């Protein structure tokens, strides 16, 4: 059982002058869920090496049991500092792919040709394709073999418009995840803001927000079982 986790390499929050990147909880929680289930986990990003951490996800209010575990885990920190370069990967080597959220992916992974090709290859092979929070934004370009958007007619979720409004970034992000999934023909659903919610449709697994990270990982593990 070999799970590939993909993180952003993008660190600029639009033209605000502020930093962004991946969301720590959305990496740490699934990472340990996969490891504790006995999976081999590989990490990748568009540029390779150390992906940028969203500084807001490093604030005390955003810490969880899993982020604290990561802070004490030198092996995990070393793995994160040396992610593989996305365009060097062979999809056949992995049993599932999981996209970590944070605002960064909306700028790079959503448009990355290597990411798009990887998702299409994994999906068409029937392997789990999973994404949490802003991660489902990476699904805007991939298409199925019938030429339709990958999410068309599929049950999906992702960061809600109201959650984006709550963090005051509606006018900063290149697109809104909820609106984009609906525009592509996805059967989008959500629960109350900040509550855990994961949706499975075939081998596609999506989660609404940071609180949904573990739920998405567990659904991936069920599919792999």
Crossing angle, helix 74-81 and helix 24-36, to 10 degrees?
120
Q: Residue 218: give its domain's CATH number.
A: 3.40.50.880
Give tens-digit pLDDT for 83-104: 999 999 999 999 999 999 999 9
Give tens-digit pLDDT for 52-85: 999 999 999 999 999 999 999 999 999 999 999 9
The whole-chain average pLDDT of the chain stands at 97
Give mean pLDDT, residues 25-45: 98
Residue 20, domain extent: 2-224
Record the pTM.
Answer: 0.97
- How many domains is the chain built from? 1
8 Å CB contact between 82 and 44: no
Give tens-digit pLDDT for 115-170: 999 999 999 999 999 999 999 999 999 999 999 999 999 999 999 999 999 999 99
Crossing angle, helix 24-36 and helix 213-224, to 10 degrees?
30
Measure CA of the first residue to CA of the last residue in the chain; give whole Å: 9
């Amino acid at each position: 059982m070999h799970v590939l986790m993909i993180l952003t390499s993008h660190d600029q929050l639009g033209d605000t002058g502020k930093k962004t990147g991946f969301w720590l909880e959305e990496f740490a929680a699934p990472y340990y869920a996969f490891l504790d289930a006995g999976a081999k986990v590989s990490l990748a990003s568009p540029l390779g090496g150390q992906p940028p951490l969203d500084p807001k996800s490093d604030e005390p209010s955003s810490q969880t049991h899993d982020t604290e575990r990561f802070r004490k885990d030198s092996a995990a920190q070393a793995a994160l500092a040396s992610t593989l370069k996305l365009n060097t990967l062979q999809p056949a080597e992995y049993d599932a792919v999981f996209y970590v959220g944070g605002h960064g992916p909306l700028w790079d992974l959503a448009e990355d040709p290597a990411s798009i090709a990887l998702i299409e290859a994994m999906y068409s092979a029937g392997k789990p394709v999973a994404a949490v929070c802003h991660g489902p934004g990476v699904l805007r370009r991939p298409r199925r073999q019938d030429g339709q958007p990958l999410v068309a007619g599929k049950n999906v979720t992702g960061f809600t418009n109201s959650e984006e409004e709550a963090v005051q970034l509606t006018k900063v992000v290149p697109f809104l995840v909820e609106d984009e999934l609906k525009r592509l023909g996805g059967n989008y659903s959500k629960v109350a803001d900040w509550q855990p919610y994961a949706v499975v449709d075939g081998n596609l697994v999506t989660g609404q927000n940071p609180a949904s990270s573990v739920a998405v990982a567990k659904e991936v593990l069920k599919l792999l079982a």
